[in-house]
Copies of this chain bind each other. A is one copy, B any other.
Amino acid sequence: MAGIKHLVMAKFKEGAAVEQLVLDMKKLALELDIIKSFEWGEDVMKNDKYSHGFTHTFILMFDSAEDVAAYIKHPLHVEYAKKFRAGTEKILAVDFPTVIDKITTA
């Protein structure tokens, strides 16, 4: 499945409602049809030298850069982003058209 990936990483503030923020992002992903896929995970390597302190990675897939832009401006995202930003010490985000060079299905 080609498309554009919107990848977000977070270092949460101490005491942030991490589970709720993850759950709310999942809800957002399920609600908005322009989000084609949503996956996330928590770093298990836990090596700050490599993670730069980021613990969570969220990968949202869209059909096009225009759809990512529409998502960013969507009222539900704007509302969510406020809560997300409030709970994070730092955020990393990149958008990239994904090149799939190898895929093995189970």
Contacts and interface: CB of A to CB of B under 8 A. Distances in A.
Query: How many subunits of this chain does the assembly comprise?
Result: 2
Nearest to A33: B104
A17 to B, nearest CB: 18
Contact of A26 (B7, B40, B52, B101): B101
A104 B7 CA distance: 17
Contacts of A94: 9, 43, 45, 50-51, 54-55, 57
Contacts of A5: 41, 57
A71 to B, nearest CB: 13
Contacts of A9: 92, 94
B102 A54 contact: no
